[in-house]
Amino acid sequence: MLRNGTLTPRNLPLTPELHDYLLDQGRMTPDPLLAELIARTGAALPHQAHMVVAPEEGALLTFLVRLLGARRIVEVGTFTGYSALCLARGLPADGSLLTCDVSAEWTALARDFWDRDGVGDRIELRLGPALDTLRALPAEPHLDLAFIDADKPGYIGYWEELVPRLRPGALLLADNTLFNGEVLAEQPGEKAAAIREFNAHARRDPRVELVMLPIADGLTFARRLPAGEPPLR
């Protein structure tokens, strides 16, 4: 919104009470299984538990899969499986999610919850370097949706493997693209610097149109442009 010729932010700071209201009114409060997964992650991995996506982001992932009618999804970065579970819940029964991670320990917890939710047959987990997994995929455009939420220095490499494999009109999501505001730091840490470089790389890419929204820690939406369609200006 323009006020006195200047752009002013319109996002409210979320107090815990307002966040609870948001989740409740948006029907985004984690159900018992998701809540248990959050709790189990916190108990087993207290120093990494912050890596679970926010409840509103998880609900958005399910919503977007259904909105797009996505059938073929790739996720880079599984952790304990919350985001993969949300993505798989949006898939039709014959849809598929390929998810990549390097930790057998973290993903063992993920597999248990996927199976308990009844979506384990839609999810293929591949352990190992994600770039190797992505490079082994068919080269032609065939993906409906991709989600990147892994090691930050690897984002550009994942982007370059995924964008050519998106069908026209498909969506790529990249998480943590505001990185707690550290993208503005004069001397950012390694991860924040990598995210800042990724953001600039994605913004320059003529193959997509994109928007970045202040959801959780920043979420970038990139839509693969059909041939001849100009990007948003």
The full 3-state SS of 118-166, as one line of letters, equals CCHHHEEEEECCHHHHHHCCCCCCCEEEEEECCCHHHHHHHHHHHHHHE
pTM of the complete model: 0.93
Predicted confidence (pLDDT) at residue 61 exceeds the cutoff of 80:
yes
> 101-157 pLDDT, tens per residue?
999 989 999 999 999 999 999 999 999 999 999 999 999 999 999 999 999 999 999
Predicted confidence (pLDDT) at residue 92 exceeds the cutoff of 80:
yes
- Looking at residue 1, its pLDDT comes to 43
Predicted confidence (pLDDT) at residue 229 exceeds the cutoff of 70:
yes
Cα gap 168→131, rounded to integer Å: 22
- Looking at residue 230, its pLDDT comes to 75
How many of the other CB atoms lie within 10 Å of CB of 98? Answer: 19
CATH code of 16-224, in short, is 3.40.50.150
